[in-house]
Amino acid sequence: MRPRVEPTNLTRVDFTELTPDVLPFLGQAAYIQLEFFENLSRAVATSPNLAAKEGLSASAGVALRKHHGLIEEIREHDAEPEDVMAPFAPALDVYRTAIAGADWWELLLGTYVSAGMLDDYFIRLADGLPSPVRGRVVRLLGEVGASPVLVRELSEGIATVPGLADRLALWGRRIVGDTLLVARSAIREGTGTGPEVEPMFTELIAAHTRRMDGLGLTA
């Protein structure tokens, strides 16, 4: 029943002009992975079925590895992870609570939308980091995370729970704005307001639409 969407060959926008300095990048990326870990752990703890726990907990483990890998990178730069992450914590804590939603299904979709947009985005931003940290961070963030298991659980729910598709479609629309604000807060200072960020937003929204479409939800 799910509409099949062909991958679109968009010209990929070059994000590297927007890449911030190494430490702010690592601090924000590390804290975002911690947020994913926290939401995925919550999805494990509140899972209505035991079967979903294995995949979700494995995904939480992947987010945790990325978080600790990025923390190691911060230490490699002779900085304290706590100090480097602290400036991003208040806004990201609010964001995490916002995308957690009202129940397990909204938590899963919130995490899927958020991780879908931000994981890919941070990998693209990482392209603008100096070598050799660039390669290490791209490999670290490139590990497949929660998406497959979230798509599986969400698809099953959408197919079997009456009314869930409409509710989740609405929910997906509500959190995309907050996620774009997080994306914008991650770019190099001084570049956040001009037209140079337009293509980045356009591309993130297009990818989001394809993901929602893949679940059979109207973005």
Binding site for a copy of itself (CB under 8 A): 34, 37-38, 41-42, 44-45, 50-51, 53-54, 57-58, 60-61, 64-65, 67-68, 71, 81-82, 85-86, 89
Q: How far is the CB of 157 from a copy of itself (least distance, A)?
A: 18
Q: Which is nearer to a copy of itself, 55 or 172 (CB)?
A: 55
Would you say the C-alpha torsion 89, 94, 98, 100 has a positive or negative sign? positive
Instruction: Closer to a copy of itself by CB, 43 or 150: give it.
Output: 43
**Other Cβ atoms within 10 Å of 11 Cβ, number:** 7
Report in angstroms how near the CB of residue 90 gets to a copy of itself at its nearest: 11
> Residue 148: left if φ>0, alpha if ψ -120 to 50, beta else—which one?
alpha
Pick 67 or 167: Cβ nearer a copy of itself: 67
Peptide bond into 132 cis (omega under 30): yes
Q: Residues for the chain: how many in total?
A: 219
List, in order, residues 6 or more apart from 144 with CB less than 8 Å away: 62
- What's the distance, CA 26 to chain centroid? 15
H helices of 46-103, in order, are: 50-76, 81-85, 89-100
Alpha carbon of 178 to those of 107, 181, 215: distances in Å?
A: 15, 5, 21
Smallest CA-to-CA distance from 125 within 29, 10, 199, 8 is with 29
Q: Which is nearer to a copy of itself, 100 or 150 (CB)?
A: 100
Least separation in angstroms between residue 51's CB and a copy of itself is: 5
The nearer residue to a copy of itself, 19 or 28, going by C-beta atoms, is 28
CA dist., res. 7 & res. 211, Å (int): 11
Q: Least distance in Å: CB of 94 to a copy of itself?
A: 14
Alpha carbon distance 219, 76 (integer Å): 41
Identity of the residue, 20 or 81, whose beta carbon is nearer to a copy of itself in the bound complex: 81
Residue 114 CB, shortest distance to a copy of itself, in Å, is: 15
Whichever of 45 and 181 has its CB closer to a copy of itself, that residue is 45
